[in-house]
Chains A and B, each alone.
Chain A
Amino acid sequence: MIFARNLSRLMLLLLTGLVAAAMMLPILLTVTNSLMTEGELSFNYSLLGVVTEASAQAKFVNLKLIPDWVTLSQYAKLLDSTPKFLQMFWNSIKLVVPIVAGQTAVATLAAYAFARLRFKGRDVLFMVYLITMVLPFQVTLVPNYLMIERLGLMNTSGAVILPGVFGVFGIFMIRQFMASLPFVYTEAARMDGAGHGRIFWEIILPLTKPGLAALVILLFVDYWNMVEQPLIFLKEEFDYPLSLYLAYIQESERGVVFAASVLYMTPMVLLFLYAESYLVEGIEHSGIKG
């Protein structure tokens, strides 16, 4: 019996290990390949891109994890010779931080109203919100575009930030999180004479911290990777965020691709590592999977 249980645990471990390895492989490959020389990468990936004599004979891409010669030259090249990368990196920060901060603030207040206040039409309004959330971006693109143009925000950061600040996902997630909080805290506070402001600020908000952390991470990842919004609302290339950078890299810069990818995902990874526990807790309470 014990043996069977251990065996099943072992099998489960192996299975999850395999899945984890499969998930980790692209990231690991990106990191290790970013430390390879351009020549080594050209050889490994000769099958991709322009057909040469060498690539014509190759049948598979050579996915190597261990570099022949570890070098940071790709990073140096990326940072030294391609200032566009740095500019796009800060563009991303410039777009994503206000969106995340704005949407978190708006979502927290709106979620409090949906979760804790009782007013006529609350549930209907929330349903409408949910409907807009499930609509894909492409469906709301035209009205969004028209509104942005009317507001005179076209080709400015505001064209991306403003719709992001009023995103529905944050409201939905925080509302779910707040709804899971026991009402006894707020009832007790109310009995002690606390108003909505005080209840929100001193009771609900501290309790929602894990949910907010989870929201921040999910929003950051979502908007850090956005492609359509900047492509549609921004005309100038130097306003583009980093998520569009890879499109500008040429075939001869494979090493730069890997280096750029590593630097691109680093903020997300760091944010995840920092707030991992909050994320798990937040998702658990809100019942939402990212």
Chain B
Amino acid sequence: MEVLLSSGKRNTRKRIVVVIASLFFGILLFWTLFSNMLIGLTLPRVVTEAPTPGSLDVNFQGTSSLRPVLEVELFNHSGEKPTEILAREGDVVQKGQLLVRYDRTAKEQQLELEQNALQKLKLGSKQLQDDYKLAARGEDVAAIEAARNALESLKLDLSAQEKRIQMLQTELTDRTELRAPFAGRVTSVLAIENIPSNGADIRLLDTERGMQFDIRIPADMAAEWMEGDAIKVRTLGKESRLVEGRITKMEADSGNESNMPEESAAMNIPASEERQAAKEMVQVQIRITDKSLRAGNRVQVELTQSAGGDTLILSRKAVHQDRNGFYVFAVQSRPGPLGNQFYVSKNYVTVIGEDDQSTAIAQEFWLEETEIIVESSEPLEDGQRVRY
């Protein structure tokens, strides 16, 4: 009986132990299966993509405004008021063409006075010649010498007066007219009829020399060009067309700040993107000789460079930049306690080129099947665990 009781107790205890053991292992099993999922819910979610080998056409677009190569201001040196303005703004003029005619009255009157004075001197000359002839018949040496000196002095006066008249005549011709010093186009008429001007009267553009503009382009793209090369330039506006320009100057850009506020260049980088295209830039001056273009016209330069070779293409959003350069976050899979775990791995890359959608990076030791993080629900750090 006692043995039976003891056996019954033992069986009861065994059952309890089995229940406890089942619970214990059941709880641990549950936690094993679900804790990974529960932990995963708290991790940043990421969206990834695999880089694909290929090439990328990198486009560069830069716009700028035209400015004349040579534009001169023509002044009125006579100080007289303009009487007739023959040039109109925008007129195409030939070299030597009359642009402005000035008041001649004062100059003509002065010329007349000088001519009268010349006549008067000439009349005096006859008298002195006679005096000299009379003195020469006598033997008074002093009288002869005095008469000769007076005659010579008058001759000098006559010569000076003639030169003065000649100068006045030249002035009358040159300074009462404003003519185009070269063939070009009148860009501005500042003179007003019958009102004396102190500054420039006409602004004239040399159309033979054409227009020019400056633009900053990436150094790697500029490497394909050199001074003297022809380059296609698109004129912007209603009648957009391609014109040929010629590179006249290339020099390394001294700084990021541009001294030409109008100029803008973009590698199609969205403004929202914090990344700055801290690339080496080259300042290029391009001249266009198309006569239909005006100063201030907007022009655009479009360049395309193929970033080919051993490159991998991935979304532009996947590439970030810090002070050490460009980098991407790759997903690294590590065998974890409860299955694979995914960690962020920060990898610096060499960017070959990029457009508004894609970025080409050097293949280097990069594995094609590596998943690159494109988007994440939270800011990421190297080594951080993520889910995807």
Contacts and interface: CB of A to CB of B under 8 A. Distances in A.
A89 B28 contact: yes
Contacts of B336: 83, 87, 238
The contact size tier of chain B is 10 to 19
A80 interface: yes
Contact of A270 (B10, B24, B32, B36): B24
B241 to A, nearest CB: 67
Interface string B27-55: 01001100110110000000000000000
B342 to A, nearest CB: 14
Nearest to B38: A80
A45 interface: no
Contact of A274 (B17, B35, B335): B17
Interface in B332-358: 335-338
A90 interface: yes
A273 B337 contact: no
Interface in A89-125: 89-90
B20 interface: yes
Contacts of B38: 80
Contacts of A84: 337
A79 interface: yes
A153 to B, nearest CB: 19
Contacts of A89: 28, 32
B14 A83 contact: no
Q: Is chain B's interface secondary structure helix, strand, loop, or mixed overall?
A: helix
B18 interface: yes
B14 A274 contact: yes
Interface string A66-79: 00000000000001
Contact of A80 (B14, B20, B28, B35): B35
A270 B337 contact: no
A238 B32 contact: no
A238 B17 contact: no
A267 B337 CA distance: 20
Given A80-B35, A273-B13, A274-B14, A87 B337 contact: yes
B5 to A, nearest CB: 14
Interface in A166-216: none
Contacts of A81: 39
A88 interface: yes
A90 B338 CA distance: 10
Residue picked from B18, B35, B336, B337, most chain A C-beta under 10 Å: B337
A52 interface: no
Nearest to B32: A86
Contacts of A274: 14, 17-18, 21
A90 B336 CA distance: 13
Nearest to B20: A270
A277 interface: yes
Interface string A229-248: 00000001010000000000
Contacts of B13: 273
Given A79-B31, A79-B35, A273-B13, A86 B337 contact: yes
B95 to A, nearest CB: 90
A277 B10 contact: yes
Nearest to B14: A274
A83 B18 contact: no
B338 A83 contact: yes
A179 to B, nearest CB: 27
Contacts of A273: 13, 17
A86 B20 CA distance: 18
Given A80-B38, A238-B336, A86 B17 contact: no
Given A83-B39, A86-B31, A86-B35, A270 B338 contact: no
A86 B35 CA distance: 10
Residue picked from A83, A266, A277, most chain B C-beta under 10 Å: A83
A266 B24 CA distance: 8
A153 B36 CA distance: 29
Contacts of B338: 83, 86-87
B42 to A, nearest CB: 10
B21 A83 contact: no
A83 B337 contact: yes
A236 B336 CA distance: 11
A290 B29 CA distance: 30
Contacts of B24: 266-267, 270
B11 to A, nearest CB: 11
Given A89-B28, A273-B13, A274-B21, A238 B335 contact: yes
A64 to B, nearest CB: 26
Interface string A273-290: 110010000000000000
Contact of A86 (B10, B14, B21, B28): B28
19 contacts: A79-B28, A79-B31, A79-B35, A81-B39, A83-B336, A84-B337, A86-B31, A86-B32, A86-B35, A86-B337, A87-B336, A89-B28, A90-B32, A236-B335, A238-B336, A263-B28, A273-B13, A273-B17, A274-B14
Given A87-B337, A238-B335, 15 more contacts: A79-B28, A80-B39, A81-B39, A83-B35, A83-B39, A83-B337, A83-B338, A86-B31, A86-B337, A87-B338, A89-B28, A238-B336, A270-B24, A273-B17, A274-B21
Interface of B: 10, 13-14, 17-18, 20-21, 24, 28, 31-32, 35-36, 38-39, 335-338
